[in-house]
Amino acid sequence: MPVNCGIVGLPNVGKTTIFSALTATKAETSNYAFSTIDPNFGTVDVPDKRLFKIVELIKPQKTIPTTVEFVDLAGLVRGSSKGEGLGNQFLASIRQVGAIIHVVRCFDDENIHHVETTIDPIRDIETIEIELAFADLESINRRIDNLGKQLRSNDRLIAERAKILEPILQKVSDNLLDGIPVRKMDLTDEQLFAMKDLNLITLKQQIYCCNVDEQSLAADNDYVKSVKQFAQTNGSDVIVICGKLEAEISELESEEEQKEFLDSAGLEESGLDQLIRAAYHSLDLQTYFTAGEKEVRAWTFKRGMKAPQAAGIIHSDFERGFIKAEIYHCTDLFELKTEAKLKENGKMRLEGKEYIVKDGDVIHFRFNV
């Protein structure tokens, strides 16, 4: 299951600097608006200590972590939903991502220009969220306008679908006008499925990424406190990163050097670790593993998936021909050290189609096609 996150923000808030540091990609940065024109893409391995503990015990020929793709999108400004700046290009790109990482400037520096001239994180957040809501509203209203013809269609199925869709779209339109993002509307799974092809932006989960100076990593400044309070009312995650510091970490060659740097800065983990954890939490994702002599591999799945669905992430044949899943949990392997010991202690078991996969499960799927 591919995981991708779009990094958004006003121009000059540090999003491209953070993107470059996280992905070790040398994207263009500058002290002027719209230095990012085309989206920048970077794929990174998900750091998971459990994967490497499994590798130490299984000793495979190959190790394959799961990955996250980050997409650095052009800066958004007032009027982007109407085509200002690089608005149309931005909005087309953001519809394709799974979650939105909203970088917010939470530091003072007179040498770095701000498009609004002053630093106000909540104003900046609201600027972007209004533009995203306007973009969704335009998509919804365009679809409503097209429903008239469908309602009069001689094809009964088309007419019935339009009749079902019309009140849903009107409800969403009214709520967007009231400033409510789609993700906070009281919509059923059926209603959301009916609008799936619209790829509504405000339906996507948002993570607020406060870009701070080094002094504010130890204790939240007032800007960060205001963002955390705002995010709490919206049910969104917040992480705090110093883009400048992350850029310095990314220049270090070895993991040992990076760990020493983090320790000296009083940090327990890098910004990349924080962002990935927040993305998994926001998207309700977890990880299971497959393990054998040829390879140990991590797989991302949606929380609550049953065994056949999880098998389908590897290949559709696995889901279609699913028979059983041979399962143990990685923590049991860490304790007992070998699969033989797992079997002796009854920790390895067979599960059927109704089994709900758990984070950290190690699975061998049995299938027949």
Cβ burial 312-323 (10 Å sphere, 16+ → b, else e) = bbeeeebbeebe
* Distance from C-alpha of 37 to C-alpha of 315, rounded to nearest angstrom: 36
Cα 40 to chain centroid, rounded: 16
* HEC profile of 111-166: CCCCCCCCCCHHHHHHHHHHHHHHHHHHHHHHHHHHHHHHHCCCCHHHHHHHHHHH
List phi, psi (to 5°) of 47. -70, 120
pLDDT tens figures, 239-272: 999 999 998 888 887 888 988 988 888 888 888 8
Domain ranges of the chain: 3-46+67-117+204-282, 131-201, 304-367
Residue 79 clears pLDDT 70, i.e. is over it: no
Q: How confident is the model at residue 131 (pLDDT cuts 50, 70, 90)?
A: confident
- The mean of the pLDDT values for the chain is 89
In CATH, 131-201 is 3.40.50.2000 = no
Residue 26 clears pLDDT 60, i.e. is over it: no
Q: Structure tokens of 269?
A: 């983990």
Higher pLDDT, 351 or 111: 351
3-state helix, strand, coil in the chain (%, to 5): 45, 20, 35
131-201 and 304-367 share one fold? no
Q: Which CATH topology does 304-367 take?
A: Ubiquitin-like (UB roll) (3.10.20)
Q: pTM higher than 0.75, yes or no?
A: yes
CA atoms within 13 A on the CB side of 59: 4
- Using alpha carbons, select from 160, 159, 187 the residue that is nearest to residue 172: 187
Cα 92 to chain centroid, rounded: 17
Q: How confident is the model at residue 205 (pLDDT cuts 50, 70, 90)?
A: very high
Look up the CATH architecture of domain 3-46+67-117+204-282.
Answer: 3-Layer(aba) Sandwich (3.40)
Confidence (pLDDT) at 74: 66
Cβ burial 240-269 (10 Å sphere, 16+ → b, else e) = bbbbbbbbebbeeeeeeebeebbeeeebee
Tell me the mean pLDDT in the region 205-234. 94
* Distance from C-alpha of 231 to C-alpha of 355, rounded to nearest angstrom: 35
Tell me the mean pLDDT in the region 70-92. 63
pLDDT tens figures, 274-307: 999 999 999 999 999 999 999 999 999 999 999 9
Tell me the mean pLDDT in the region 350-363. 98
The answer to whether residues 197 and 203 touch, using CB atoms and an 8 Å cutoff, is: no
* Distance from C-alpha of 265 to C-alpha of 214, rounded to nearest angstrom: 9
Confidence (pLDDT) at 280: 94
